[in-house]
Chain A
């Protein structure tokens, strides 16, 4: 395949302009599949979905089906869901428990670690020509279990996951840790899967921290659906951050987040007023979290995207999303809803009903997002439309490296006002994947935003 232009030419980060081609071009899309989804760390699933040996959950990486499976010895694998003989999907169930994956086509069988168990008529037809050890299901090059979330990459040269996550770690942590501050401990209580006709990057970019799109949620804010709505509180969530300084952070690896830092000596903001018992529970979590984390408890997450296509919602509601590419103008959204695994049933019930009315294609908030992403994609496909760049100059130049906010150092290229600089950072890195730059560049080497000023002199 010939690639007529460098992807970097689509991303004019100095002027804050990005070509619409990256959202609509099939050629760009093919390059993403070949150069980005084959290298970056992708979120595959959660260990709570496969608690026992033999448990599996069928997932995706890019366009391709993979099986997240815990083998009989308890080791987690991510395997390409395609038989080595003629490619048949060896697993067409969404989840379950098995000791073997049996290919429906010619009945090759694979054990839960991906190795061939049986080839029909092996002795008569294959002996001497096929070494079974060489024909296991294709396995990812690297896998990492981070606080229960399973991440994988096809690139053996990729940096380890924590290096890749970098300073975005503390933000993602807030979404994955227990509400009372204990590390990890989340579980997935369900996964929405749906297809929408928009480029996957509209969704990824939205969760980098596009705070500016708030007006598109006016209808849900007017009616009020949050955890205190029965008390007449409008809006789609409780505003626990009313005293906080919001921060919008871009990271060397392309991740972007919107979080907040509470002021010193802050108190619990009244929340979850629909039910005093629920409110008491979260007040307890708040105090306990403060006790455990000390000053760090003032740090709270909102939303973020871990490059390229994993997003999270940190508090109300709480979930992880994968934006799986289907084509330049179609995406499959998966949303994994999270709760603390050991939360009381009453709390889980309260949260799941809130999540359902808020999130996804049936959610009163996110329906309006999907409408925007669809028609933004559609209306950018025309020949004339493609000649005109998108504008990303919002708050350009307003970010700084590792500022101290409310007495706490916030690492990254950080803005304290609503901004689009995380998106610019995301697309700078995106272009470098498509132009097949080496890993040190993909991790931010040479990006002047992350070079301390003193070092330049």
Chain B
């Protein structure tokens, strides 16, 4: 037994790379929306049946990672485990202008890298649904001296709705045990 988790791998052909570029472009658009504070526009990139999930990460014994390292979506407490209604509430809260944890607004830069398509349905050439993995580095600076770096992995399921990709399932693995930040007031 080793401590790794299997990642599926599909054929790297031209259709794969074309699809990957399309997905990368989608992620850059998302980052641009959030970093330029067009939050309402960003919400449109999320599917109506969104699940937005960030588990907590535990220090566990070797061999128990697959089972116990991350808190679970179907039970217990995580950092985020919510639907589109709740994410929309978060945007509404910022837009009140009196959400003091984001007033004045933070400066953020969302970097997305290592994008890979893990699965394309029905296939890469005519994909209507993709499962992806990527790495993120989100820099946040607020007021004067407060600065945070959030680094981790993201596993998404995107589906095409009327030609546009939408995020239907997002699992965010922040590489921290005890959260090294007073708040998670940005989006991932």
Question: Among residues 51 to 66 in chain B, which have CB atoms less than 8 Å away from a CB atom of chain A?
Answer: 54, 56, 58-61, 64
| Interface assignment of B17: CB less than 8 Å from any CB of chain A | no
Residue of A with least CB distance to B184: A362
| Interface assignment of A195: CB less than 8 Å from any CB of chain B | yes
Q: How far is the CA of A92 from the CA of B181 in the complex (A)?
A: 21
Per-position binary interface string of chain A over residues 346-365, scored 1 when its CB falls under 8 Å from any chain B CB and 0 otherwise: 00110011011100011010
Given that A364-B93, A368-B99 are known contacts, is A189 also in contact with B75, CB under 8 Å in the complex?
yes
Q: How far is the CA of A364 from the CA of B91 in the complex (A)?
A: 10
Question: Among residues 201 to 252 in chain A, which have CB atoms less than 8 Å away from a CB atom of chain B?
Answer: 216, 218-220, 222-225, 229-230
Per-position binary interface string of chain B over residues 78-99, scored 1 when its CB falls under 8 Å from any chain A CB and 0 otherwise: 1111100110011011001011
Task: Name the distance in Å between B20's Cβ and chain A's nearest Cβ.
Answer: 30
Q: Is B98 in contact with A218, judged by CB distance below 8 angstroms? A: yes
Q: How far is the CA of A194 from the CA of B54 in the complex (A)?
A: 15
| Interface assignment of A285: CB less than 8 Å from any CB of chain B | no
Given that A357-B86, A364-B93, A372-B100 are known contacts, is A352 also in contact with B76, CB under 8 Å in the complex?
yes
Selected contact of A216 from candidates B86, B90, B100, B184, CB within 8 Å: B100
Given that A225-B89, A357-B82 are known contacts, is A194 also in contact with B181, CB under 8 Å in the complex?
yes
Q: Is A195 in contact with B80, judged by CB distance below 8 angstroms? A: no
Q: Is B182 in contact with A374, judged by CB distance below 8 angstroms? A: yes
| Interface assignment of B71: CB less than 8 Å from any CB of chain A | yes
Selected contact of B82 from candidates A194, A349, A356, CB within 8 Å: A356
Q: Is B77 in contact with A191, judged by CB distance below 8 angstroms? A: yes
Q: Which of B21-29, B35-43, B112-120, B172-180 contacts A (4 or more CB under 8 A)?
A: B172-180
Selected contact of A94 from candidates B58, B85, B98, B181, CB within 8 Å: B58
Q: How far is the CA of A189 from the CA of B76 in the complex (A)?
A: 5
| Interface assignment of B185: CB less than 8 Å from any CB of chain A | yes
Q: How far is the CA of A230 from the CA of B83 in the complex (A)?
A: 13
Q: Is B100 in contact with A192, judged by CB distance below 8 angstroms? A: no
Task: Name the distance in Å between A192's Cβ and chain B's nearest Cβ.
Answer: 7
Q: Is A190 in contact with B96, judged by CB distance below 8 angstroms? A: no
Interface residues on B, range: 35 or more
| Interface assignment of B15: CB less than 8 Å from any CB of chain A | no
Q: Is B98 in contact with A190, judged by CB distance below 8 angstroms? A: no
Q: Is B59 in contact with A92, judged by CB distance below 8 angstroms? A: yes
Q: Is A367 in contact with B77, judged by CB distance below 8 angstroms? A: no
Q: Is A370 in contact with B183, judged by CB distance below 8 angstroms? A: yes
Which residues on the A side are within 8 Å of B10 (C-beta)? none
Residue of A with least CB distance to B90: A364
Which residues on the B side are within 8 Å of A374 (C-beta)? 146, 182
Task: Name the distance in Å between A336's Cβ and chain B's nearest Cβ.
Answer: 9
| Interface assignment of A337: CB less than 8 Å from any CB of chain B | yes
Q: How far is the CA of A368 from the CA of B54 in the complex (A)?
A: 20
| Interface assignment of B125: CB less than 8 Å from any CB of chain A | no
Which residues on the A side are within 8 Å of B93 (C-beta)? 219-220, 222-223, 364
6 closest Cβ pairs, A-B complex? A190-B77, A367-B101, A194-B179, A196-B182, A219-B99, A219-B96
23 A–B contacts, CB within 8 A, in A order: A96-B61, A193-B56, A194-B179, A195-B180, A195-B181, A218-B96, A219-B93, A219-B98, A222-B93, A223-B92, A225-B86, A230-B85, A352-B76, A352-B77, A353-B86, A356-B78, A357-B89, A361-B181, A361-B184, A371-B100, A371-B101, A371-B182, A372-B100
- Can you name 4 extra interface pairs (CB under 8 A) apart from A337-B77, A349-B75? A190-B56, A219-B96, A361-B182, A367-B183
